[in-house]
């Protein structure tokens, strides 16, 4: 008798339950982005979905539709939008010296 395996689509939002998990995910994405702003926007979109897109949109002062578009990963949103979303998510950006 053949065995069948059932798979489900991986959804990173299921692993972004705490602010620490969200911050670690964003940090990892920043390291992997290689200058791709749309990649970072998509990562913020993942975190926003985990938090609740409607609430994040309200906290960022944006419409839900514009937030979905900005964080779709299909475009690079304005830096002002990124800053609003990061603040609404309760996260902080920080900088450190590059030693490359």
Rounded CA-CA distance 85/37 in Å is 14
Q: CA torsion angle for 21, 39, 56, 22 (degrees, to 10)?
A: 0
- Domain spans in the chain, listed from the N-terminal domain onward: 18-88
Residue range 63-98, pLDDT digits in tens: 999 999 999 989 889 999 999 999 999 999 888 898
Report yes or no: 90 and 20 within 8 Å, Cβ to Cβ.
no
Confidence of residue 1 (pLDDT cuts 50, 70, 90): low
| pLDDT reported for residue 35 | 87
pLDDT of residue 10: 79
> Sign of torsion, CA 23 87 44 53?
positive
pTM of the shown model: 0.84
């Amino acid at each position: 008798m053949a065995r069948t395996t059932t798979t489900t689509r991986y959804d990173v939002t299921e692993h972004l339950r705490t602010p620490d998990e969200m911050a670690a995910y964003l940090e990892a994405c920043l390291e992997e982005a290689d200058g791709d702003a749309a990649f970072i926007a998509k990562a913020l979109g993942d975190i926003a979905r985990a938090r609740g897109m409607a609430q994040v949109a309200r906290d960022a002062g944006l419409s839900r539709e514009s937030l979905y578009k900005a964080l779709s990963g299909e475009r690079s949103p304005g830096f002002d939008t990124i800053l609003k979303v990061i603040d609404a998510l309760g996260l902080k950006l920080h900088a450190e010296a590059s030693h490359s």
